[in-house]
Amino acid sequence: MIRLDGKQTSNEIKEEIKVTVSEMKARGERMPHLAAVLVGNDGASLTYVGSKVRSCEYVGFDSTLIRLEEDITEDALLAQIDTLNKDESLDGYIVQLPLPKHIDEEKILLAIDPKKDVDGFHPANFGRMALELDAFIPATPFGIMQLLERYKVPTSGKHCVVVGRSHIVGRPISILMSQKGPAGNATVTVAHSRTENLAELTRQADIIVMALGIPEYLTADMVKEGAAIIDVGITRVPNESHPKGYVIKGDVAFDEVAQKSSFITPVPGGVGPMTIAMLLKNTLLARQWNLS
């Protein structure tokens, strides 16, 4: 059994980006520039955004953090988006979610210029990805594809069951793994809450991607010997014996499933750590597409 180490892979990707950036610097090119918009003072959001900004600095990108008041109007936020769209010094930007309840998240995301949408949440990017054009792929599926490719998990002709049909994980990963190309050419089934006989399906799968959000849902009896397991679930489960009062659990009962699997991502330390690396990768792509 091989553990797909997201922390290590994420670090490798960051180092690769760092090298590319230093080459760009040597050629006198402008550095890739990412901006992050943070509305309000949510603690978790602050942590995420802070971590993204520090990662930019680490690889040598320019970064800008734009903090806006919790009570900003939707129109004022849209005006800010318009400014960012027009800012030629900026290759990409993200709007940290969730937004305050008085703001229509969909409206904001649709206002982002798809060419700067390095989160890959805009429908124009989703469509370009599905139609196999250059596109920003959302960080989680992009990260999974990198893990599959770098660990050489066999996918071509294999049966992959994706459990979950969300817009940012289940749906895009199912499309990517079914397309031609690295970590692709799989026969992909999308299962979800309405699926009958899920265990019957997962027991046939060569690869299982769990993106359901139910802790330890996938148990050993649902898995074929030698399957590859990708666990996207991250749920805080209350646990009083733990100093934080909770533990992080994936959608996979790790210990029992690991024994039957060929490859498996741990939680934490699997898919999760890949996301910031993929955001950086998208920002670098935005810069490169801008140049060409």
Which of these segments, 17-25, 28-36, 127-135, 245-253, binds a copy of itself (CB under 8 A)?
Answer: 127-135
Rg of the chain over all Cα atoms, to the nearest angstrom: 20
Q: Which of 279, 164, 156, 148 is nearest to 232 (CA)?
A: 164
Q: What six digits make up the tokens of 42?
A: 């949510």
Q: What's the rounded Cα separation, in Å, for the pair 121 and 168? A: 7
Residue 132 as a binder of a copy of itself (CB under 8 A): the answer is: yes
Please pick, from the candidates 7, 18, 115, 192, the single residue that binds a copy of itself as defined by CB under 8 A: 192
Pair 3, 265: CB distance under 8 Å: yes
For a copy of itself, which is the closer residue by CB, 108 or 276? 108
Q: What's the rounded Cα separation, in Å, for the pair 64 and 216? A: 38
Q: What six digits make up the tokens of 241?
A: 């014996």
Please pick, from the candidates 178, 235, 288, 290, the single residue that binds a copy of itself as defined by CB under 8 A: 178
Residue 130 as a binder of a copy of itself (CB under 8 A): the answer is: yes
- Minimum distance of a copy of itself from residue 125's CB (angstroms): 7
Residue 127 as a binder of a copy of itself (CB under 8 A): the answer is: yes
Which of these segments, 17-25, 153-161, 235-243, 254-262, binds a copy of itself (CB under 8 A)?
Answer: 153-161
- Where residue 3 falls (left for φ over 0; alpha for ψ -120 to 50; beta otherwise) is beta
Which of these segments, 7-15, 17-25, 80-88, 156-164, binds a copy of itself (CB under 8 A)?
Answer: 156-164
Helix (H) or strand (E) holding 203: none
Q: 5, 52, 80, 116: which one is catalytic?
A: 52
Burial class of residue 68 (count of CB atoms within 10 Å of its CB; 0-12, 13-18, 19+):
middle
- Chain residues 58-117 in contact with a copy of itself, contact rule CB under 8 A: 106
Helix (H) or strand (E) holding 190: strand 187-191
Residue 118 as a binder of a copy of itself (CB under 8 A): the answer is: no
Q: What is the CA 198 to chain-centroid distance, rounded? A: 25
Please pick, from the candidates 28, 43, 157, 238, the single residue that binds a copy of itself as defined by CB under 8 A: 157
SS3 261: coil
For a copy of itself, which is the closer residue by CB, 1 or 199? 199
The single residue listed with the structure tokens 């690869």 is 207
Which of these segments, 36-44, 59-67, 70-78, 193-201, binds a copy of itself (CB under 8 A)?
Answer: 193-201
Q: What's the rounded Cα separation, in Å, for the pair 111 and 213? A: 29
Please pick, from the candidates 165, 203, 224, 260, the single residue that binds a copy of itself as defined by CB under 8 A: 165
Residue 107 CB contacts under 8 Å (≥ 6 apart), including other chains? 74, 78
Residue 224 as a binder of a copy of itself (CB under 8 A): the answer is: no
Q: What's the rounded Cα separation, in Å, for the pair 257 and 216? A: 10
- Minimum distance of a copy of itself from residue 172's CB (angstroms): 8
- Give the count of residues interacting with a copy of itself (CB under 8 A): 34
Residue 247 as a binder of a copy of itself (CB under 8 A): the answer is: no
- Minimum distance of a copy of itself from residue 167's CB (angstroms): 5
Q: 91, 117, 119, 231: which one is catalytic?
A: 119
For a copy of itself, which is the closer residue by CB, 117 or 231? 117
| Cα separations in angstroms, 39 against 34, 150, 211, 270, 280 | 17, 36, 27, 29, 21
For residue 54, give the amino acid letter. R
The answer to whether 119 is a known catalytic residue is yes
- Chain residues 133-152 in contact with a copy of itself, contact rule CB under 8 A: 133
Which positions are catalytic? Answer: 52, 96, 119
